[in-house]
Amino acid sequence: MTGARLLPGGPDPDLAEVDAACHCGAVRLRLRLSDGLRTARRCDCSFCRMRGAVAVSAPLDGITIVAGAEQLAEYRFNTRTAVHHFCRVCGIYTHHQRRSNPDEYGVNVAILKDVSPFDFAEIPVGNGRCHPSDGGGGQAGTLTYRPAPA
Ligand SMILES: [Zn+2]
């Protein structure tokens, strides 16, 4: 997939360590990212299509749950390989263990402190309808965002 592209004046693409929290603040995480914000992507599988979140990668030892572990619910479907975590209070998706790369977490970029999905000009969309683990993969398209003129 081609990389995500940040808007000028956006956050540091090399962002390595960052705090994160769900909307209500019950769940708080400390993150170490695999490759900064460069791994930002979406996926068009049946679940991600509804969830609508942009995710970045973190290694399995890159997530520390600082608060609210007891508030984290999980959801699995289909092969039940991927584990999707969300806050049971506010419903916000925080992170998931990936099916395409079980050695990594995907983390909701919108929960990162001072980072927004609207900081990105371009986000690649992975082909999740035919999953990499089912012989598919590759890039389905690119989402673009164009801020209104100031
Ligand atoms: Zn919450």
Domain boundaries, the chain: 17-125
CA of 93 to the centre of ligand 1 (A): 9
| pLDDT on residue 34 | 96
Name which of 36, 51, 128 is nearest 84 in CA terms: 51
What percent of the chain has pLDDT above 70?
A: 96
Q: Is the pTM of this model over 0.85?
A: yes
Query: Residue 102 — very low, low, confident or very high, per pLDDT cuts 50/70/90?
Result: confident
The DSSP code for 79 is T
2.170.150.70, 3.40.50.12280, 2.130.10.10, 3.30.1360.120: CATH of 17-125: 2.170.150.70
The DSSP code for 138 is S
CA of 134 to the centre of ligand 1 (A): 33
CA of 87 to the centre of ligand 1 (A): 5
Handedness of CA 33, 139, 78, 27 (dihedral sign): positive
| pLDDT on residue 136 | 67
H-helix or E-strand spanning residue 37: none
